A = this chain, B = another copy of it.
Amino acid sequence: MSQTVDRALSILPLLAEGPADLGQVADRLGVHKSTALRLLRTLHEHGLVYRQSDQRYRLGARLFALAQEAMENLDVREIAHPHLARLNERCGHTVHLAVYEEGEVLYIDKVESRYPVRMYSRIGKPVAITVAAVAKLLLADLPEPERRTIAERLEYPLYTARSTPNAPAFLRELTKVREQGWATDLGGHEESINCVAAPIRGADGRVVAAMSVSAPNVVVTADELLTLLPQVRRTADDISGEYSGRTPAKDTVGP
């Protein structure tokens, strides 16, 4: 809509691939060097872009700070966190919280496993959308046409033999998840890792977030992990209640 801003913002994903010098930026934007320079300078003033010692540009620190603040302002996250921590206390495994936004699913909170073997994931990292249990829950709640559109636009990387292979299979899985009200990922992303997930709903019943418990095979088998399902669902329901205002937050200590 606004050409100048559009061009300036296009620089960010470009730099996300790695540092680049003025010429490279100008070329990839298809503009004159002087134009690119002015845009970069503006981005620099706002701290979104940093000029390293070899004169090349890369993404700046303000970006982290912004992402950080944005995260801390998410109210679901704030409400959910103590519940996630409590669940982690009880079962010891990694607990994740994720939301859907504009075609992406991303983790917004994580409580680390207390077992020495830990899985790799990071807050803010987009989730493997076709296989993750939380992603299935979040997508399953979208209106059917949107679900179809998204499913057909997605790619289906075969992380493992049990990954969702294509759109029809994914849509079938979403229907199942929608009906049963919970989801799993049994080695669909990494061979040895299983997850159980449950939805968190707002006052209107719409799914606003999803949470999951994940553990590697070497710690517990898939069957053992599934025995945690009731606990996970109860936790998710508690969060839903508090989020939608039905249940006031419980004080952890009396006055």
**Chain A residues at the B interface, C-beta cutoff of 8 Å:** 1-2, 4-6, 8-10, 12-13, 15-19, 38-39, 41-43, 45-48, 50, 58-61, 63-71, 73, 101-102, 104, 106, 112, 114, 116, 122-126
Task: Across the A-B interface, give the 6 residue pairs with the lowest CB-CB distance, nearest first.
Answer: A64-B124, A59-B70, A16-B69, A67-B67, A9-B46, A5-B8
Docked pose: A39 CA to B114 CA in angstroms? 45
- When A4-B5, A45-B6 are in contact, do A64 and B60 touch as well, CB less than 8 Å? no
Docked pose: A58 CA to B5 CA in angstroms? 18
Q: With a CB–CB cut-off of 8 A, which chain B residues contact A43?
A: 5, 9
Which residue of the partner chain B has the closest CB to A61? B101
Structural contact, A5 and B60, CB atoms closer than 8 A = no
Structural contact, A6 and B66, CB atoms closer than 8 A = no
Structural contact, B64 and A106, CB atoms closer than 8 A = yes
Q: Nearest Cβ distance between residue A18 and chain B, in whole angstroms?
A: 6
Structural contact, B39 and A2, CB atoms closer than 8 A = yes
Which residue of the partner chain B has the closest CB to A126? B65
- When A2-B42, A46-B9 are in contact, do A63 and B70 touch as well, CB less than 8 Å? yes
Q: With a CB–CB cut-off of 8 A, which chain B residues contact A114?
A: 116
Structural contact, B48 and A9, CB atoms closer than 8 A = yes
Docked pose: A16 CA to B71 CA in angstroms? 9
Structural contact, B71 and A64, CB atoms closer than 8 A = yes
Which residue of the partner chain B has the closest CB to A37? B1
Structural contact, B65 and A106, CB atoms closer than 8 A = yes
Q: With a CB–CB cut-off of 8 A, which chain B residues contact A17?
A: 69, 73
27 contacts between A and B (CB under 8 A): A1-B41, A1-B45, A2-B4, A2-B8, A5-B39, A5-B42, A5-B43, A6-B46, A9-B43, A10-B46, A16-B66, A16-B69, A16-B70, A16-B73, A50-B101, A50-B102, A58-B73, A59-B73, A60-B70, A60-B102, A61-B106, A63-B70, A64-B106, A64-B124, A65-B124, A65-B126, A66-B67
